[in-house]
Structure 1
Amino acid sequence: MENVSVPGAPPPLCNDSVLLYSPTGNRSDLNCTPPFFADLYVILPVIYSVICAVGLTGNTAVIYMILKAPKMKTVTNMFILNLAIADDLFTLVLPISIAEHLLNYWPFGEVLCKVILSIDHYNIFSSIYFLTVMSIDRYLVVLSTVRSKRMPYRTYRAAKIISLCVWILVILIVMPFTVFAGVYVDPADGRKTCVLSFPSPEPLWFKTSRIYTLILGFAIPVSTFCILYTMMLYRLRNMRLNSNAKALDKAKKRVTVMVFVVLAVCLFCWTPFHLSTIIALTTDLRTTPLVIMISYFITSLSYANSCLNPFLYAFLDDNFRKAFKTMLECSSA
């Protein structure tokens, strides 16, 4: 594919979202020099920097509040804590992605390349898996309320163990990407980029990795909590019909709504990313400047999910709102 040069500017970096549209997943197969690159070269670092600053500040505040305030040590907040840690971990390494974009090559070596791409994929899987666990927990809470039964096994300690198991599962899922992550050297100009380097036949391996991510990072978790929330609504509806008692008290209902909204925002941010995978795998989509621009928008939207959750907690949960207010008052005193 012929490259189009932009006077006075290096060719733009083809990130992994753009590689979705490559027939092999190799950067050298793509035309990564859209005529609007001069704008992208400035806009993307600004967007990523805002996501990094807001996400790091908000998630660090959530982590601090849950660890500091005794009243915040609940089962749901344990899962929120781990979700915030996952988001914080991603925003911590985002400046390296910004540096790669601005430099237009990878100067950080093979080891850091593996670390960054691994964390990038942790971001894909960890959020959705912790939200799935939170959905299971909400379903069990609703079920116990409907049946008027206690849940002695639902403890803060149990939530810690489950969170550790989720991290181990995500590490195992991401391990293949860690193995294949490496520095690619363009034979034409010697430019280094951090990318997934698959063995031959590369197109087959690349498509397999996309299907792997789609199934484990989207299809299975989304199916799980869709089923859970459908069953939850069904049980609540039946209880309203058969009993005058409220299905959930005010506090439990508020937490359930918060989990549902956080889940909905996560789906809003990540669904375009996974839909783009389906489009890339099922169609012969030509890599045009418009496609590249859309791919960067989709990537930015998925990144933005890492900084939105703290605002949702503050807006939907009284305890978080009071904790945020107390923390701000203490910092201004």
Structure 2
Amino acid sequence: MENLSSLSELNSSCVGAGKAAGCQGKFWSGLNVSDTLPIPNFYIAVPIIYSVICAVGLTGNTAVIYVILKAPKMKTVTNIFILNLAIADELFTLVLPINIADYLLLQWPFGEFMCKLIISIDQYNTFSSIYFLTVMSIDRYLVVVATIKSRQVAYRTYRAAKIASLGVWALVTLIILPFAVFAKIHTEQGRPQCVFVFPQPESLWWKASRIYTLLLGFAIPVSTTCVLYSAMLFRLRRLHLHSHAKALDKAKKRVTLMVLVILAVCLFCWTPYHLSTVVALTTDIPQTPLVIGISYFITSLSYTNSCLNPFLYAFLDDSFRKSFRKLLDCGASS
């Protein structure tokens, strides 16, 4: 719910609004909405951008889910995690039209249950992508280490990947529960808004919520992933210097490259959002049209991640392209 209109003062009930909350002061501390009419250029452009993200995301992620579930060759450990990434992105793009409606109507007409549900789905999108990428990084590390030692990872099975995926969903569910609890309908200037309503002192709770998201949704998983990939590269470098053995075959190199690229794109899309949290916590920024435009851009960039991954799979994974073409041919012939 990105009902980001003209920004000037901070309403106490809106102080906790985060990503997908119906508060106009999404990113910056000390903001508020004295004006319910959005800047005309943004009011036109934002729904168009969100609609494109929705259409592309639904098409691409549906294709990924279909290929992985239908093609026998796609049933691998890595693809189980990719499947769950696609499901998380698909879920988010399915509810994006509700965010667009909220934005255009300048109010929340769907009731409190839908408010809690949509905010929960939006938070799933925020946390699930980075956690599944962290699990994929752990998987890549284990594969590389095992290959260097000429061993097999005995517990790296299709069933284990399913259990690990369920574990990620359970962890993310626990993480986002507070957001569902605080998501409520608040009337602002006669208009119902879906926002986070925190207890007193609201400013303290707002800061705690932003730090909570920053740490659990970015700092901890990204640090873990960086450590894993640094250790992986260090091991490969030592192997190159001290051994003539072939550590990784081409297939494993391609999978590792694909995971790295997906991670890099995720960080590219989400880092500005989390950096804006740091800015919101440390700086009081005047609400100029430029700042508001940057806020819209950061929001759109984070949403864009939900539709980019399918193109990465198609570009980097030969087996995905071949399986997709085969399924299309089968569908056409039938």
TM-score normalised over the length of structure 1: 0.91
Q: Which amino acid aligns with 1:226?
A: C
Query: Aligned partners of 1:99 and 1:89: how far apart in 2?
Result: 17
The equivalent residue for 1:181 is 183
Once the two structures are TM-superposed, the CA of residue 152 in structure 1 deviates from its matched residue by 1.3
Please show how residues 80-91 of structure 1 align to structure 2 within 5 Å: 80-91=82-93
Once the two structures are TM-superposed, the CA of residue 331 in structure 1 deviates from its matched residue by 4.8
Look up the SS of the partner of 2:198 in the other structure. coil
Contact 2:21/2:119 (8 A) holds in 1: no
Q: Given the alignment of the two structures, is residue 18 of structure 1 paired with residue 29 of structure 2, yes or no?
A: no
Contact 2:120/2:179 (8 A) holds in 1: yes
Q: Identity rate of aligned residues, in percent?
A: 68
Query: Aligned partners of 1:240 and 1:55: how far apart in 2?
Result: 40
Q: Which amino acid aligns with 1:167?
A: W
Please show how residues 1-333 of structure 1 align to structure 2 within 5 Å: 15=22, 18-23=25-30, 29-31=32-34, 37-186=39-188, 189-333=189-333
Contact 1:30/1:287 (8 A) holds in 2: no
Query: Aligned partners of 1:288 and 1:261: how far apart in 2?
Result: 35
Residue-by-residue CA offset, 1:10-56 (whole Å, 9 max, x unaligned): xxx98558322142x7xxx335568x821111111111011011101
Residue-by-residue CA offset, 1:267-289 (whole Å, 9 max, x unaligned): 00000000000011011112222
Query: Aligned partners of 2:211 and 2:178: how far apart in 1?
Result: 13
Once the two structures are TM-superposed, the CA of residue 328 in structure 1 deviates from its matched residue by 3.6
Contact 2:29/2:281 (8 A) holds in 1: no
Once the two structures are TM-superposed, the CA of residue 200 in structure 1 deviates from its matched residue by 1.0
Contact 2:127/2:172 (8 A) holds in 1: yes
Look up the SS of the partner of 1:254 in the other structure. helix
Q: Which runs of 5+ in 2 are unaligned?
A: 1-6, 10-19
Query: Aligned partners of 2:24 and 2:276: how far apart in 1?
Result: 8
Query: Aligned partners of 1:272 and 1:110: how far apart in 2?
Result: 30
Query: Aligned partners of 2:21 and 2:113: how far apart in 1?
Result: 20
Pick closer, same or farther for the CA change 1:241–1:164 going to 2, 3 Å.
same
RMSD: 1.8
Query: Aligned partners of 1:252 and 1:32: how far apart in 2?
Result: 55
